Each structure stands twice: as C-alpha cells, then as structure tokens.
Amino acid sequence: MNDSSKLIKTANLLLDISSLLMVSGANTNRANLSIDRFASVMNCKAYSLISHKTIIMTLTDEETDQSCTRVQNIPPYIINFMIISAISKASWNAISENWTLEQIEVEIERIKSLNRYPRLLVLFAVSLAGAGFCNIFNGDYLNMMVAFVSTFMGLFIFQQTHKLKYNLYLRLFLGSFIASVTAFVGIYFNIGANPQTALATSILFLVPGVALINSFTDLLDNNILNGMVRFTTGLMTVLAMAIGLFVAMYLFQLN
C-alpha cells in the first residue's frame, strides 16, 4: 500500500470512529480528542469540522507532509454509552501499545459488533425507573404500578415506531400520548393516593438528557454550532412530549 492510499484509508477509519462516537451520544470535544489520539498513533495530524449531520476531516501525514480531505454523513443517533467508553479505552490502548492501522480497524469492528441490552430488559428497567420517579413524587405502590405500566407502554410504542422508521418527533409524540392515556386509567378509576403523579412521571423516559447535557458541554467548549443544534433538538423533544401530554389531557378533560 502506497503512502497516499494508506492516508486515505486512515482518514476513512478516523471518520468512521468519529461518526460512531457522535451517533452514540458523545459530545464534540470527546470525539475530537479520540480522533487526535488515534491519529497520533499513526503519525498524523487531524483537523476536523464536526456538525450535527456531517463530518469534514483533513488528515496530514507528519512524515511525508501529504494530506487528504474526506467528508462523511452522520447516520441517525442511537445513544450507546458502552460504545463511547470502549472507543475511549481503545484510543488509550492504541497509544500505550503503539497499535498499527490494522489493529485499530479490528478493534473498531469488534466495538461495532457489541451487543446492546435485550429489548425486554430495557423496557423493564426504564419502566422501573418511571415507577421510582413516581415514588419520589409521593406516589404510593398503586401509583407506582400505574407509572410502571404507562412507561412500559409508552416506551414500547416509541421503540416500535423507531423500527418502522417514523419521524423522531412523531415517535416522541406517540410515546408521550400513549403513556399519558395509559396513566389516565389510574386517574379515572382513582387508583392509589395520588394518581396524578403517575401521569406526571409516565413520560419522563422521553426527557432529552443526553442532548441537553451535550449542548451545554459543547457550548462550554466553544463548539457553538453543535451546542445550539443540540439545544434546539432538546427543546423540540420537550415540545413533542408536551403536545402528547396535552392532547391526552384535552381528550379526557383533565385539568
């Protein structure tokens, strides 16, 4: 493999890594740091422009002074902190053990193949968290049960519409609406001491914590464009949640 071909291959690999980090929910600074670590192992210098949808990277070989510029689109975001952690660990291992390009490629492919948690486990764990929030807001065990079922139904619909490739904000609306309608059963039949708490906490699983936290850290790191885009995405998510809750309350005449 000649120098130019190797440089292009390296740039494509680094683009793949940065795209994988962004998709998994990393902030912009973390993506840049990981790219710089991997690039340093291969005696290269990377200059990246990472937006919410596209990555533009110029890679320069420090020995031959050759450079190439590559562009890659970022696919839809699927939050996975396990991948972020694995790539960060791999970048440090690459530096300490002086990995070759082929070793890095093999490790990234292994990270891509990491299994996500089973869907049923995610549904159960998130629903249990919804029930826990209900308890924090003075809900009794019956209210917690309603919150558990409501969260389960809302998340189930959210996941199903993701499989069907619905628009993100329509998925959020439907998840919020179904969770709210299910929680309304507890209010209608006056289940538990504070049935309203189940309604209020049944949609908390949709809160865009990752987007809002990353927007704040990006703004602090002077990644203004990504910070504003992520903040706007967070606001749109909250709006879709609120509309779903409002429509359910309007249909059932809840104050």
> Tens digits of per-residue pLDDT, 65-97?
999 999 999 998 889 999 999 999 999 999 999
pTM above threshold 0.85? yes
Boundaries of every domain in the chain:
3-112, 119-251
Do 18 and 35 meet the contact criterion of CB atoms below 8 Å apart?
A: yes
Q: Write phi, then psi, for 211 (nearest 5 degrees).
A: -60, -45
Amino acid type, 73? N
Query: Residue 133 and residue 246: Cα distance in Å, rounded?
Result: 20
Half-sphere exposure of residue 108: CA atoms within 13 angstroms, side-chain side: 23
Burial of 214 (0-12, 13-18, 19+ CB in 10 A): buried
Report which secondary-structure segment, H or E, holds 68: strand 67-73
Half-sphere exposure of residue 127: CA atoms within 13 angstroms, side-chain side: 21
Looking up tokens 């291969």 gives 42
Query: Residue 37 and residue 94: Cα distance in Å, rounded?
Result: 8
Q: What is the pLDDT of residue 116?
A: 87
Q: What is the pLDDT of residue 189?
A: 92
- pLDDT mean across residues, the chain: 94
Q: What is the pLDDT of residue 253?
A: 84
pLDDT over 70, % of the chain: 98
Q: What is the pLDDT of residues 141-182, one digit of tens each?
A: 999 999 999 999 999 999 999 999 999 999 999 999 999 999
For 77-132, the three-class secondary structure string (H helix, E strand, C coil) is CCCCHHHHHHHHHHHHHHHHHCCCHHHHHHHHHHHHCCCCCCHHHHHHHHHHHHHH
